[in-house]
Amino acid sequence: MLKKSILSFICIIAFGIKVYAQDSMNLAQCIEYALAHNTQLLKSQNDFQQAQNSYQQYRANVLPTLNGSATNNFDFGRTIDPATNQFSNASSRTNYFSLNGDWVIYGGLQKLNQVRQYEWSKDASSYTLQKTKDDISLTIANDYLQILLLTEKEKQLENLVKNSDEQQKKTAILYDNGATTLSKKYGADAQLATDQYNVVDMQNQLEKQYLALKQYMNYDLGKSLKVETINFNRQLQVYGVGDLDKAIKEQVDKLPAVQAARSQKESALYAWHAMKGTAAPKLSVDASLHTIYSSQYQTYTPSFSYLPIGIVGTNASDVVYGPVETGISGKNISFGDQLGQNFGQTIGFTLNVPIFNGLQTKYNIQGAYITYQSDDLKLTDAEVKARNDIYQAYDGMKEAAKKFDAGDIKLKSAEALFKESDNSFNAGGTSYFDYHAARTSFINAQSDWLQAKYEYIFQTKVFEYYLGKPVAF
């Protein structure tokens, strides 16, 4: 897959165990280290984790809510006992216990659309994270190749220093023997000093390039780092217009930037649908379980005595006895018994119908739709930019190939001229100025050839990235 193509750097020239404390790293290790420590990538990873969290949050939002509560009150003075609904002047303790739940049965599909919205938003964040990884990998690869380029230039300049040193020594001997002029001796001395200066300047450039690589990797600047060389002896594959057409037709939609834009557009679409749901009626159900305990809640038992209440007929001896309440006694009800006796249940349905809220819902829906249209245009821009990037990568590769071929011819001609001038100068047949001109032309040709070589290599790998191929050296 294309999204894994740049990460294939990690598989290039990888050997054994990962050791970051080492002074020497290959390209795969540099990229892997950067992917683990680059602060820009770490921020993107945090954004992706936040998007995942929001998605899970809105998924859970469609579930019912359930809440429990427990209250303990102490009452003093004249109060109404909630258990008996009677006034009381005694101190009392009251406990309330409840379990409440509610669930939206229908709300214009607002919650379901929000779940889809944040799912697509999560995907967009994932593709953005992948694009950040790709960008970091390509930047590390470019910096790595620049270090190799400067290293080769340094070696070539060091070889020129050796050549200049030999010429300076020969010229000094000839001058001491009276076989050459003082101006030629000064010229040889100046050339050696110039070449030595160029080596120092190239070393400084190389050090700065290492510093740039370390900073992008977030590598300890106090630690030494040396990149390993890569063998480029193999011929780079040549790509034509057919490969360009293939990349345009098959790979544009797979690029992380395009996929991120498409996911963001889908997220905006469902955000619009969710906003439209706020204008729909909302039906919800709620239920509760509740009970109460009061220290004043008692059961009362009356006491009776059988007393005369009358006689039978006129006979005073036939006395009739009947129960007469002579008192009443109270008994506290236990905590557990009260919870059971006072246990109650409630269920209810609520229908909310939005009628008028200052046109806020209308304008919120319009705003969500405008955002969706903007994200649709962003997707179009991303697709256009992706196609343009592929064309530019192809053109850059072709231009680099032409420059490399021309530089190769130029280098061979300049090298042949320099060798001829060097031999002729040593034999006294060429002036110092002609020799110096040939030498300068050779140095410039070497530099241009190296620059073209590494530019061609990098541009080829960039185009291969757009072809969905793993980048390998």
Please report which residue ranges of 38-109 form alpha helices under DSSP H.
39-60
Contact 167, 188 (CB under 8 A): yes
Q: Does residue 328 sit in the same domain as residue 385?
A: no
- Confidence class for position 325, pLDDT limits 50, 70, 90: low
The rounded distance, in Å, linking the Cα atoms of 464 and 9 is 13
pLDDT value for 439: 85
DSSP 358: T
Residue with the larger pLDDT of the pair 60 and 324: 60
Q: Does residue 235 sit in the same domain as residue 319?
A: no
Q: Is 472 inside any structural domain?
A: no
Q: Does residue 313 sit in the same domain as residue 407?
A: no
- Confidence class for position 304, pLDDT limits 50, 70, 90: low
**Dihedral, CA of residue 323, residue 329, residue 335 and residue 339, to nearest 10:** 40
Contact 318, 312 (CB under 8 A): yes
Q: Does residue 280 sit in the same domain as residue 323?
A: no
- Confidence class for position 301, pLDDT limits 50, 70, 90: low
pLDDT value for 434: 83
CB atoms within 10 A of CB 32: 22
Contact 258, 386 (CB under 8 A): yes
For 124-172, the pLDDT digits (tens) are 999 999 999 988 988 998 999 999 999 999 998 998 899 889 888 988 8
pLDDT beyond 70 at 7: no
Q: Give the start-end residues of each E strand in 242-388.
A: 282-294, 298-312, 315-332, 344-352
pLDDT value for 429: 76
Q: Does residue 318 sit in the same domain as residue 425?
A: no
pLDDT value for 313: 67
Q: Does residue 140 sit in the same domain as residue 91?
A: yes
Q: Which amino acid is at 155?
A: K
Q: Which amino acid is at 154?
A: E
Q: Which range marks the domain in which residue 358 is found? A: 2-297+333-466
Segment of 292-301, 404-413, 460-469 carrying the highest mean pLDDT: 404-413
Domain boundary among 310, 332, 354: 332
pLDDT value for 357: 84
For 380-410, the pLDDT digits (tens) are 999 999 999 999 999 999 999 999 999 999 9
pLDDT beyond 50 at 3: no
For 222-266, the pLDDT digits (tens) are 899 999 888 776 567 888 999 899 999 999 999 999 999 999 999
Q: Does residue 431 sit in the same domain as residue 451?
A: yes
b/e per residue 338-362 (b: at least 16 CB within 10 A): beeebeeeeeeeeeeeeeeeeeebe
- Confidence class for position 9, pLDDT limits 50, 70, 90: very low
Contact 272, 371 (CB under 8 A): yes
Q: Is 473 inside any structural domain?
A: no
Any residues with CB less than 8 A from the CB of 351 and at least 6 apart, and which?
Answer: 281, 282, 283
Q: Is 323 inside any structural domain?
A: yes
pLDDT value for 226: 92
> In the predicted model, what is the mean pLDDT of the chain?
84
pLDDT beyond 50 at 12: no
Task: For residue 110, give Cα distances in angstroms to 11, 61, 65, 104, 271.
Answer: 46, 11, 17, 10, 9
Domain boundary among 276, 310, 332: 332
What end-to-end distance do the CA atoms of the chain give, in Å? 19
The region, left, alpha or beta by phi > 0 then psi within -120 to 50, assigned to residue 16 is left
For 25-54, the pLDDT digits (tens) are 988 889 899 999 998 899 999 999 999 999
For 58-80, the pLDDT digits (tens) are 898 888 989 999 998 887 767 77
- Confidence class for position 358, pLDDT limits 50, 70, 90: confident
Contact 115, 59 (CB under 8 A): yes
Contact 466, 251 (CB under 8 A): yes
CATH number of the domain enclosing 43:
1.20.1600.10
pLDDT beyond 50 at 97: yes
- Confidence class for position 329, pLDDT limits 50, 70, 90: low
Burial of 249 (0-12, 13-18, 19+ CB in 10 A): exposed
Q: Does residue 174 sit in the same domain as residue 309?
A: no
Q: Does residue 183 sit in the same domain as residue 323?
A: no
- The partner residues of 24 in beta bridges, in order of sequence, read 226
Structure tokens at 447: 């530099």
Q: Does residue 52 sit in the same domain as residue 137?
A: yes
Any residues with CB less than 8 A from the CB of 431 and at least 6 apart, and which?
Answer: 425
Residue with the larger pLDDT of the pair 83 and 132: 132
Domain boundary among 332, 350, 384: 332
pLDDT beyond 70 at 433: yes
Contact 80, 87 (CB under 8 A): yes
The domain tally of the chain equals 2
pLDDT beyond 50 at 8: no
Contact 267, 120 (CB under 8 A): yes
Q: For residue 398, give the H/E element and its range.
A: helix 360-426
Percent of the chain with pLDDT over 70: 87
pLDDT value for 328: 61
pLDDT value for 5: 45
Q: Which amino acid is at 227?
A: V
For 200-214, the pLDDT digits (tens) are 999 999 999 999 999
Residues 407-424: what's their mean pLDDT?
89
Measured at the CA of 389, the angle between CA 383 and CA 394, to 5 degrees, comes to 130
Residues 407-429: what's their mean pLDDT?
86
